[in-house]
Amino acid sequence: MDRIVSISIGVAVVLTLCVVHCTQAVAQWNHNPDQATPICTAPSQQTDPVIIGDGVGGVIIVWADYRNLVQGEIFGQRVTADGNPLWGIDGKPIHTGSDPVYYPTIVASEANTFIVVWLEQGHESEFVAQKIDREGSGLWGNGVRIPTGAGTMISKPRVVTDKNGGAIIAWATQSTSGSNLYTQKIGPGGQIRWVASGLLVQSNIQGLDSFAMETDQNGGIYLAWEDTFQSSPNIFAQRISSNGLPLWDQHLTHVSPNDSAQINPVLSSTSSGELYIVWEDYRHPSEPNHLYIQYMDDSGGRNWGNGKQIPLSNGCVNFEIAVNRFNACIVVWEREIGFSHKVYGQYIDQNGTMKWDSQLSRICSTVSNQRSPRIVTDGWGGVIIVWADSRNGFSDLYGQRIHYRGYPVWSSTGVAVCTAPNSEQGYVLSRSTNGEVVVVWIDKRDGSQSEKENIYASKVDGQGRLYPVELMSFSAHLLDDGVYLDWRTASEVNNFGFAVERRADADGEDWEEIGFVAGNGTVAEARSFTFLDDDIESLRKQFASVSYRIIQEDYSGEREVSAETSISFVPLNASSIQLYPNPAPTSTTLRLTLHQDAQTSVSIYTIDGRQVFTRELGSLQQGVHLIDLSAEVLPVGMSFLHVTTGNDVLTSRLLHTP
């Protein structure tokens, strides 16, 4: 076998070991659930994270921040689909000040912009709104101030888009005679659209503990809240037009008129304007609470009488709902049974039919406690659910994707989203693309500091994987003893290994597996892999080239196919050259194969024929020589590399892309 000699060329020629450096942007999502991806680890506390898609596959995350030992800052971070942060380390400030700020919320506006709203408590409480672009720059100066009306603030604000570039805010205050429910609309230019002090939807509400808001199909809103009726809290609703006018009965709409206690309404509207309302109901005195659902038309009419009871919802303590692409409602809830807490779900179509039976309703099959489920639609009619799980002794985050027919798409026990020590709190979700979800939470893994709370995130793909293997590179090199394959991964999760396949580049030839390289299970750091195909002599005689690919397989059987790479054969009695990488972001390596000893030189020419580099390599022996060409000798753009060996000249094109 011929030896391989390596040469490095920079300003001078130096004999050295061949090390090829390849710089390439790689995804930044951490694929290890024991670690996850830090969004902000600045000093002190970061709280109340919210998330929204950025419109191009990434997300924007906003939170209240205390890094500068003040209570008046809102920070944000934009993260690409690959997990790359775009707004600097630990995010950039959206608002700074000295007054305490709470409850940031973000909604989409117009032309790739977003509206962020938060509560500021100075001498008096008021909301502040700021419009930002995809670079995180504020577009409304110091923000738009929104008065909160009479009384003391008693609720978090609810904020929704008006579907016309603006936002609508709802909140509750407390006065001596009862609670007051207000709402306000902000135009896309920051204008206050309704009454300056807020549109009063209902005053003197008794026993208001919660309310909900949802956008209608015309830029208005639906509202639902608790008010006392015949000594028990009941659910009432109202629809407000885009002009701030009430559209339903002047005396409001009673969602389920009976004397049972009804609390905690949650809303979601359909694309055609109907409204689902789900609440906790105590109409069965001998049983704990149940979930009930009502389906209302756009004029406020009740379609399902006093509501329909959702099976297996007794003992419900937390629930969320979502409307899918078929305008059906999917409900998930935490069910308390003795000392046990489990997550359940149900699919209710527009006819009121409950589609999932008792077996399908159980979301996770483990014996551990599952609490506080969160939900987003998956884009195909199903949902993605994330919950707090105690199976590892901590409050970890696990997730599951449920098909609209009720069966789990991922593992029956769910997939780990974050299993770092201590608890993850305040988690929120956003679907990035169909079937994929980004989860953001408050992280308390630094247990040595009780006040230390940071923001972390993870992305789960449609198959329930934290992007298990990120392939950074894959290449093939023809050597005297065979074809040498090498590839590199950024990290691995649940990686069983790689099947290596080969195909002769001729009509009718199929892929065949020629080997297997074991993976590393779950590792967070980059790893390299190699494989030598030493069975090529018969292929060399029959075909001009062969192609290779690798198929990554995880322990659950999921497989991912790489891009192909090819090798061209040259006659055994001819010299040849290869450049890799090509295009070359920095340096490149020239692989020179000599069929006999020869005086050798290398030159580089620009596309207009100007010589920019030349070097005599002297007499080289027959065999393979690896010659490093550093970035200093490579012209930017397209050039031609000439290698002179005796009387022969070998030429190759080179693209340098620094």
110-165 per-position pLDDT tens digit: 889 999 999 998 777 889 999 999 999 999 999 999 988 777 888 889 999 999 99
pLDDT value at position 428? 95
The pLDDT, as a whole number, for residue 14 is 32
Dist. CA 180–CA 152, nearest whole Å? 10
**Per-residue model confidence as pLDDT tens digits over 214-262:** 999 899 999 999 998 778 899 999 999 999 999 998 656 899 988 889 9
Degrees to nearest 5, angle at CA 625 with 619 and 631: 105
Question: Residues near 476 by Cβ (< 8 Å), separated by ≥ 6?
Answer: 483, 484, 485, 548, 565, 566, 567
Question: For residue 556, what pLDDT is reported?
Answer: 62
pLDDT of residue 251: 56
> Which pair of structure tokens corresponds to residue 418?
């974050």
Taking residue 263's Cβ as centre, other Cβ atoms within 10 Å add up to 17
How many whole angstroms separate alpha carbon 432 and alpha carbon 376?
11
Q: How confident is the model at residue 559 (pLDDT cuts 50, 70, 90)?
A: confident
pLDDT at residue 25, as a whole number: 31
Tokens for 126, please give them: 């008021």
Instruction: Let me know: does 94 contact 130? Beta carbons within 8 Å.
Output: yes
Range list for CATH 2.115.10.20 in the chain: 156-309
Q: Distance (Å, rounded) from C-alpha 385 to C-alpha 414?
A: 9
Instruction: Quote the DSSP letter at residue 379.
Output: S
Whether domain 581-656 has CATH 2.60.40.1930 = yes
pLDDT value for 104: 96
Q: What is the pLDDT of residue 445?
A: 82
Residue 326 has, within 13 A of its CA and on its CB side, a CA count of: 16
User: In the numeric block, which tokens belong to residue 230?
Assistant: 């015949």
Per the structure block, which two tokens stand in for 406?
Answer: 């009720």
Q: Would the CA dihedral through 157, 160, 162, 164 be positive or negative?
A: positive
CA distance 466 to 469: 9
Q: Which of 69-78, 244-253, 378-387 bottoms out in mean pLDDT, i.e. has the lowest?
A: 244-253
pLDDT computed for residue 134 by the predictor? 95
Q: For the domain with range 156-309, which CATH number is right: 3.30.390.30, 2.60.120.260, 2.115.10.20, 2.60.40.1260?
A: 2.115.10.20
Q: What is the mean pLDDT of residues 629-643?
A: 89
Q: Which strands form 92-95's sheet, in the order they lie side by side?
A: 46-53, 59-65, 73-79, 92-95
- Of 253, 206, 195, nearest to 229 (Cα)? 206
Radius of gyration of the chain (CA): 31
Altogether, the residues listed in the chain come to a count of 658
Higher pLDDT, 472 or 619: 619
Q: What is the pLDDT of residues 383-440, one digit of tens each?
A: 999 999 998 877 899 999 999 999 898 888 898 999 988 778 899 999 987 788 999 9
Domain span(s) for CATH 2.60.40.1930 in the chain: 581-656
22-65: per-residue pLDDT in tens? Answer: 333 334 788 788 889 999 999 888 999 999 999 998 999 999 99
Structure tokens at 241: 């037009």
CATH 2.60.40.10 maps onto the chain at 468-568
Class of residue 141 by CB neighbours under 10 A (exposed 0-12, middle 13-18, buried 19+): exposed
Average pLDDT score over the chain: 86
pLDDT of residue 360: 77
CA distance 516 to 501: 9
Distance CA 225, CA 209 (A): 8
User: What token pair was written down for 262?
Assistant: 């009804």
Higher-confidence position of 511 and 20: 511
pLDDT of 449 reads 54
Q: Which region among 236-240, 344-348, 654-658 has the lowest average model confidence (pLDDT)?
A: 654-658
pLDDT, tens digit (0-9, with 9 covering 90-100), for 467-480: 666 777 888 887 76
Q: Look at residue 6 in the predicted model and tell me its pLDDT.
A: 53
CATH of 468-568, one of 3.40.50.720, 2.40.30.40, 3.40.50.2300, 2.60.40.10: 2.60.40.10
Write down the pLDDT at residue 580: 82
451-454, long-range: CB < 8 A, 24+ apart? 451/44, 451/45, 452/44, 452/45, 453/45, 453/46, 453/47, 454/38, 454/39, 454/40, 454/41, 454/42, 454/46
- Torsion sign, CA atoms 246, 247, 248, 251: positive
Q: What is the mean pLDDT of residues 183-208?
A: 93
pLDDT for residue 18 is more than 60? no
**Residue 272 DSSP label:** T
In angstroms, rounded to a whole number, what is the distance separating the alpha carbons of residues 600 and 131?
64
Phi and psi (nearest 5°) for 257?
-70, 95
Residue type, 458: S
Cα(477)–Cα(210) distance, rounded to whole angstroms? 66
- The span from the CA of 521 to the CA of 96, in Å, is 44
